[in-house]
Structure 1
């Protein structure tokens, strides 16, 4: 069971975190048609076992990613794992320079590899609230800096997304 937790469910489907539910469904259906046990010919038993295993992995990934609640929970766990990897920050991106996607309620920024960096509206709100609480608790005049590190959904590049707190001239920056 631990092995499944470490496996990237998006990679199992051949998808990326920025894919819509329809795109994920399409990728799942392609894999199901290819690897479903009922569709297997008279191949060797090791090939059949491998195909069944692949089908079960795709099915488990789809069950998690098809439900908005479990997908969000998985995405948060995935992001936490990525941030623990201590990848170097390649650049700083200001939130106001990112594109707002109204339908998905997320800020996006294109990566040079063709992938993208995504920060949800909720993440921005949570980080802003956390930062304000920290400032209130510390009650210092000293400027401390923080930021949100976001990994590309396709490659290993990461950026620090920064923004100004409303009513405060202090801005978030990566250290």
Structure 2
């Protein structure tokens, strides 16, 4: 499971200035405008690969969330606690898996086979790099939500 730290290629013990440096380095490497510039320099045609652009846009959005989360002491502490919880959940048996793109944005839950619901918060989704694991509110089952295009 990748974290916001690993996305930016920095240690969890990194200082705010180290995280800032990692963030701006990430943006310089992955920003879609930079990718288009590099493609035009190496290509004799004006063809742009749309899938790569979309992935670059998603990565930049996640990196922005990483910077906003990790630069503030309080939000970083909340994220660190959330990350520890997610790592513990990696050892549980997952009963269902769904791509984040397939979730209904208007419904903050996903139905469990027991008849209960997996409560899904926007905060959990915003912290997700690769996947997150959510427990059912009514039973002992777990749902894995994956980011489909990164």
**With structure 2 as the length reference, what TM-score do the two structures score?**
0.47
**With structure 1 as the length reference, what TM-score do the two structures score?**
0.41
Q: Which has the larger radius of gyration?
A: 1
